[in-house]
């Protein structure tokens, strides 16, 4: 993912220093990626999320955009694919969204952060989403309900990265 609005794909099977494919489609800096099975999901400064399909038996050159998800109103900063067909995204618009694949429909918008959502982690076994924000807080959300279950405080600046299990 790059600030040049593209995604470059390299093959570890070749010795080439050059990408085998450049994915073009975002009109803003690509800020986050998540690879899950045969899907590559990207989020960008154009406020969109794109789902790229990779055929398991094909060459990398056959990666194509199948779905563009629109709903955020600012940069998509973080995302994760979970449960096989769900994408959770966080944005500079202070929200998280839960999307369903393959349709790309937004099922829920999670509001509660007072600044940009900068990081997230989904714990499938507990059915929760954990998000970090520029508002210095971490929030724990119900994956199914979309409600905020608790807020964790203590940082004195933005929560830029987190992990949970």
Name which CATH class applies to 6-152. Answer: mainly beta
Give the CA dihedral 152, 157, 160, 163, nearest 10 degrees: -30
According to DSSP, the β-strands at 64-70 and 76-82 are unpaired
Which residues share a beta bridge with 78? 90
Mean pLDDT of 143-164: 98
pTM exceeding 0.75: yes
With a cut of 90, say whether residue 110 has pLDDT above it: yes
pLDDT single digits (tens) 146-156 = 999 999 999 99
Per-residue pLDDT reduced to its tens digit, 41-96: 999 999 999 999 987 555 555 789 999 999 999 999 999 999 999 999 999 999 99
Distances from the Cα of 54 to the Cα of 9, 10, 59, 111, 115, angstroms: 11, 14, 9, 33, 34
């Amino acid at each position: 993912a790059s600030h040049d609005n593209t995604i470059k794909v390299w093959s570890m099977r070749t010795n080439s220093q050059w990408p085998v494919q450049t994915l073009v489609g975002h009109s803003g800096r690509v800020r986050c990626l998540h690879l899950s099975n045969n899907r590559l999901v990207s989020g960008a400064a154009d406020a969109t999320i794109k789902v790229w399909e990779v055929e398991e038996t094909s060459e990398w050159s056959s990666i194509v955009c199948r779905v563009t998800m629109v709903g955020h109103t600012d940069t998509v900063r973080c995302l994760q694919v979970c449960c096989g067909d769900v994408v959770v995204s966080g944005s500079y618009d202070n929200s998280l969204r839960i999307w369903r694949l393959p349709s790309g429909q937004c099922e829920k918008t999670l509001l509660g952060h007072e600044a940009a959502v900068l990081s997230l982690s989904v714990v499938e076994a507990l059915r929760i989403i954990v998000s970090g924000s520029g508002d210095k807080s971490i929030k724990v959300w119900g994956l199914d309900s979309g409600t905020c279950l608790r807020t964790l405080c203590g940082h004195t600046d933005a929560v830029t990265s987190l992990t949970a299990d």
